[in-house]
Structure 1
Amino acid sequence: MNQELIKHANVLIIDDQALAQVFLKQSLEKLGFDKIMVAESAKHALRLAEEHQFNVIICSFNLSRDKDGYQLFEELKAKGAIKLTTTFIFTSAETDAALVNSVVELQPDDFLAKPFTAKELSDRLRRVLTRKHTLTKVYRALEQNNYAAVLEQVDTLLMDPKAANLYPLLMRIKGDALLASQQYQQAAQFYYEIITLQKFTWAMVGLAKAYLGLDKEDAAINILEKLVAKPQTRLAALDLLGQYYIQHDEYELAYQKLQNASELSPRNIDRHKSVVQLARLVHDHSGQYNAAKAMLKYAKRSFHETADLYLTVARSGIDYALTLPEQESAVIVRQSEKFLEALKDQFPSSAENKDKISIVQARIHYLKDEESKAKQLVSNILEHEESGNLEDYIDKAKAFHELGYQDQAIHLLENIHQQYNEDNTVNDKVLAAYLTQEKSEKTEIPFTPRQLNNIAVQLYGKKQYPAAIQAFADALRLMPKNVRIALNMLQALVDQMVRTALDEQQTKLYNSAISIISQQNLPHDQQTRYEKLLERSAQAKERHNQIDQT
């Protein structure tokens, strides 16, 4: 190993196991490293990183005292303690798929599965340190986003026979630089030439990106759909497909792709946020709640853990509870209350959360049929000057709407929609779409999903079938995946069909209900009910046909 590289290297070992610390330190000392520091926790490592600049960091992925290795890596990188020239190696006794996918997303320089020998450590370090030294100028240009300099340095190294072992990495860096500098035509040609020689998976992903940049969408999607089937490229392909479908307003498809990506690599908080927003937009409130809980689970103890994350889970729980029968709703409400209590425990002195918490508590009181308590909490906030982020505004509008303050809810949504559009501060396409959807639905439908279903059931009981059908249709608009409501609407439609033929709009609702129900695995009682309704509708259609023929 190059002793000059070792001589000047500051090394940090991060491991909470004493034996591992001793093994790593002794192994490194035998290689010639003498500037070695040891941290037994993430908190200790962060403190040392503030005081020293490390060239080599060897970190256990499975830290357990405060943050884990994934969370520590994210924070060290965010604080500038890990640069492209820094050598960072993860160690772990676990090698399950979710962990490996998480590590790949972080892009450390190497990963050593425990147990490993001193020789394995030496070989990995030698390779990484030599690579870092050779690519120093390239990495510095990348950190400055100077892609012209990156391309110049890479082309020089590609002409150097001494760097032959780095050619695949250099070509990958060149492709990334062409994409980053939006030279899509050159990038497409570059990747195509590589693939004709050897079908590197990274080159296939790069070619798909280049085609997207050139608006050759069919070619890009064709590549990505093939890459989804390959384990080594599935995650990257799902992410690209998700972003593509968002840009084309195909939110249901985007949701499916990013939801699958989150299952593959569950530690990515930003992806969870996208899944939460998409689930909400497509009215999958169960998926929204589960994604919000997963996001908080992996954010705990990390620098992602904020009061807003706890609020997101509580709010998602309330949105979900509003779509459920009373008994099931009560369970989710209790869980939302626990998340709210956890927020208060974690952020006890945060005055800015007071109104946000009051709004969530008011929505909980509404779900518990404690409307007077809910209105008492909201009454003071009605007069407050608008403040907070977009999510706070949306939640406040929901509370106003649920408690019957429809004018205030619509006024608030219209104001923030106008304000955010004028300021161009809604850069998140999904969030902007959701705000537009909320304004439209709250304006056109003055009831909550639970209220609509109750109204529809009452109308059905009075045999006012057309009005019941419309109420069920409104409820289904807010809960398009709700089989129970779809079955109720189908029941009303069939009863109407027995009386008279359905009109054009009712026929569309009939087909929509069939589509929703047929895509689900129904429990036995619902399946039996569904089959009886289909039998009755077939008999009614036959009768109408006979009447038409006569």
Structure 2
Amino acid sequence: MSSSNLNLSNQRILVIDDLVDSRSIMKRMLTELGAERIDTAVDGDQAIMMINDTDYDLVLSDYNLGRGKDGQQVLEEARYTKRLRARSIFIMVTGENASDMVMGALEYEPDSYITKPITLKSLSQRLGRIMQGRRIMASMHQLMDAGKTQEAIAEAERLIASQPRMMALVSRGLGPLYIHQEEYNNAIRVYSMVLNQHFHSWARLGQAICMHKLGDSLSALALLKETLRRQPRHVQCYDWMARIYLSLGDQVYAQKLLVKAVEISPRAVLRQRELGQLALQNQEWQVAASAFEQAVRLGRHSCYKSIDAYLNYADAALPLIESDKVTYKRLGDKVQRVLTDLQQDFSQSIALKYAGVLAQARICHAMGLLERGLLRLNAAEHLFREMEVPDADDALSLTSTMIQCGEHVRAEDLLRTVKGMTLSAAQQARVEQQANTLNEAAIRQHSDQVNAEGVSLYEQGEYIRAMKAFDEAADYSEAGVSVLLNAIQVRVSLIHYGPCSQDQRRQLLFQCRPLFQRIGVVGNTDERFERFQRLKNNFTRLLQEPAS
């Protein structure tokens, strides 16, 4: 197609590239093709500002733009803010051929994807094909930009009837319009017309979405599986299969599908967040932590940047660190750095900064950094007091962390304040759960104190008084194995070292039985195993020995 047929003279064009030579080359080629109004941007942030200020007809963006937003993030934000009109053209330009970059860029549906080096001829041909379709669909796009969806649908149907050869191009825009209007049967009809002429994975995907919306999820799954058989890397099919399986109650398989989608296209922030949320629900902490780590990294320069990704990263990491603080020390360090970034990135909001500091307190405590964790907890409480109107959820998050860090008295004081707030049913349930936890903690603490008194008396040879103390500690259902072993130990010692009558001996042995039953089995890797076995052997021998 000749440059005269392109008609670029009246087009407002933006070229985005961080390299001055590349910008100059692209600008020169566009000028040779007849363009007269060409703006340039040197990075993604400048490009977004210019797109927000100007209605561009054509945007050509390099994928790699140095520090800050990349070309994919420019495109996703332009789509998110609806600053790219329906009739606008966005072309991604790159020298990269890495599959994750290509897939990430294509997911946001640029009008074309051009790989460097670009020649004048190839650029002219590519622009010619795109602009020819744009001219045919101009009236439809104008109606879409004006928000006149029904009129745009009618114009699209007229175009298909009058120019059947343009069916696939027009239908790719018409199908989503019908779906937006919840006219799913009409959307299926349009996609079926396309598929009757030629297989297009996007049309089959559209059919599947409509079938699911109409309640026939099993047929939708069959269509998606067929599409993946033909196009194994059509990543949106995995997304929709995951959503459908989730709606059917199969969270585990839905997660597996999202993992596959992330393997194909790992640079989509929303997908990483969706995988992380699902893995959290499934308590797949490692998968969740990895997904949220990527969501944080990819979201730094994205319009989809969210504090939830930061906090969920900490929530996913916490059980791993608690299970093995040595193995997951590096993870804990990374989470702490991310939470520090959160406080800087969202420094204007006390509530968001509070959430980050509170998460740090939990992570530090789990890592065994008790002093640092307490300092973070104190800082979080200070921020909480600074909030103008702290809500119950903020307070309950603080009390929960206080309980985790062993600050039971502070938690109980704050919980009394929370009880005076207007609470939802869910918040009331959290209050009751935390109150029960505090009661159990107080009981355990008292049991431990009484047990310690018993140990001191035992060491002084005060066996009768020690037994009373151990029995008081053992009376609590929360008493641990060590307390129960102490209660057995003092009885064995009384029998050995007396004074102890025959009846007392028989009674003491009888009292040991339920204590052993409460202990149950002690594994050979338990540090208390040898003591347990020794006491059990002594008990068995005493049963067999005749009373003296």
| TM-score of the superposed pair, with normalisation by structure 2 | 0.70
Query: Relative to structure 1, is the Cα distance of residues 270 and 203 closer, same or farther in structure 2, using a 3 angstrom cutoff?
Result: same
Deviations 1:226-277 (A, max 9, x none): 3334446631111111222333333222222223222322222222222221
Matching residue of 2:544: none
Matching residue of 2:31: 29
Whether 1:98 and 2:100 are equivalent positions in the alignment is yes
Structure 2 SS opposite 1:326: coil
Counterpart AA for 2:268? N
> Of the two structures, which has the highest relative contact order with CA contacts closer than 8 Å and spacing of 6 or more?
1
Conserved? CA contact 2:395–2:414, under 8 Å = no
Deviation at residue 356 of structure 1 after TM alignment = 2.0
Matching residue of 1:499: none
Matching residue of 2:133: 131
Matching residue of 2:455: none
CA distance in 2, matches of 1:166, 1:412: 67
CA distance in 1, matches of 2:176, 2:103: 20
Counterpart AA for 1:239? D
Counterpart AA for 1:238? Y
Mind listing any 5+ residue stretches in structure 2 that lack a counterpart? 445-477, 486-514, 530-548
Equivalent runs, 1:164-175 vs 2, <5 Å: 164-175=164-175
Counterpart AA for 1:342? D
Matching residue of 1:358: 357
CA distance in 2, matches of 1:265, 1:417: 45
Structure 2 SS opposite 1:33: coil
Conserved? CA contact 1:224–1:241, under 8 Å = yes
Conserved? CA contact 1:88–1:108, under 8 Å = yes
Conserved? CA contact 1:398–1:409, under 8 Å = no
Deviation at residue 125 of structure 1 after TM alignment = 0.8
Conserved? CA contact 2:358–2:377, under 8 Å = no
Structure 2 SS opposite 1:28: helix
Deviation at residue 219 of structure 1 after TM alignment = 1.3
Percent of aligned pairs with the same amino acid? 18
Structure 1 SS opposite 2:85: coil
Q: Name which of 156, 159, 162 aligns with 1:160.
A: 162
CA distance in 2, matches of 1:440, 1:169: 59
CA distance in 1, matches of 2:422, 2:327: 34
Structure 1 SS opposite 2:8: helix
Matching residue of 1:339: 338
Matching residue of 1:47: 49
Equivalent runs, 1:219-258 vs 2, <5 Å: 219-231=219-231, 234-258=234-258
Query: Relative to structure 1, is the Cα distance of residues 216 and 465 closer, same or farther in structure 2, using a 3 angstrom cutoff?
Result: farther
Could you tell which deviates more after superposition, 118-127 or 270-279? 270-279
Conserved? CA contact 1:245–1:253, under 8 Å = yes
Query: Relative to structure 1, is the Cα distance of residues 362 and 278 closer, same or farther in structure 2, using a 3 angstrom cutoff?
Result: same
Equivalent runs, 1:144-155 vs 2, <5 Å: 144=146, 146-155=148-157
| TM-score of the superposed pair, with normalisation by structure 1 | 0.70
Deviation at residue 45 of structure 1 after TM alignment = 2.1
CA distance in 1, matches of 2:431, 2:58: 53
CA RMSD of aligned residues (A): 4.2
Equivalent runs, 1:357-396 vs 2, <5 Å: 357-367=356-366, 368=368, 370=370, 373=375, 376=378, 395-396=397-398
Counterpart AA for 1:236? Q
Deviation at residue 439 of structure 1 after TM alignment = 9.1
Whether 1:14 and 2:16 are equivalent positions in the alignment is yes
Deviation at residue 417 of structure 1 after TM alignment = 12
Number of aligned pairs? 456
Structure 1 SS opposite 2:209: helix
Deviations 1:386-406 (A, max 9, x none): 967999677546424423558
Conserved? CA contact 1:16–1:65, under 8 Å = no
Conserved? CA contact 1:242–1:255, under 8 Å = yes
Conserved? CA contact 1:9–1:35, under 8 Å = yes
Structure 1 SS opposite 2:237: helix
Deviations 1:341-369 (A, max 9, x none): 33344455543444223312321342216
Equivalent runs, 1:288-367 vs 2, <5 Å: 288-305=288-305, 309-322=309-322, 324-348=323-347, 350-367=349-366
Conserved? CA contact 2:191–2:206, under 8 Å = yes
Deviations 1:275-310 (A, max 9, x none): 221111111111111111101111123334455544
Mind listing any 5+ residue stretches in structure 1 that lack a counterpart? 422-434, 473-486, 493-550
Matching residue of 2:201: 201
Counterpart AA for 2:177? A
CA distance in 2, matches of 1:196, 1:460: 76
Deviation at residue 332 of structure 1 after TM alignment = 2.6
Equivalent runs, 1:247-286 vs 2, <5 Å: 247-286=247-286
Structure 1 SS opposite 2:327: helix
Query: Relative to structure 1, is the Cα distance of residues 436 and 184 closer, same or farther in structure 2, using a 3 angstrom cutoff?
Result: farther
Query: Relative to structure 1, is the Cα distance of residues 207 and 299 closer, same or farther in structure 2, using a 3 angstrom cutoff?
Result: same
CA distance in 2, matches of 1:169, 1:439: 57
Could you tell which deviates more after superposition, 336-345 or 78-87? 336-345
CA distance in 2, matches of 1:249, 1:414: 35
Query: Relative to structure 1, is the Cα distance of residues 407 and 142 closer, same or farther in structure 2, using a 3 angstrom cutoff?
Result: farther
CA distance in 2, matches of 1:228, 1:465: 57
Q: Name which of 106, 116, 119 aligns with 2:121.
A: 119
Conserved? CA contact 1:5–1:129, under 8 Å = no
Deviation at residue 174 of structure 1 after TM alignment = 2.9
Query: Relative to structure 1, is the Cα distance of residues 457 and 265 closer, same or farther in structure 2, using a 3 angstrom cutoff?
Result: farther
Conserved? CA contact 2:354–2:384, under 8 Å = no
Deviation at residue 109 of structure 1 after TM alignment = 0.7
Deviation at residue 102 of structure 1 after TM alignment = 1.0
CA distance in 2, matches of 1:177, 1:220: 19
Structure 2 SS opposite 1:270: helix
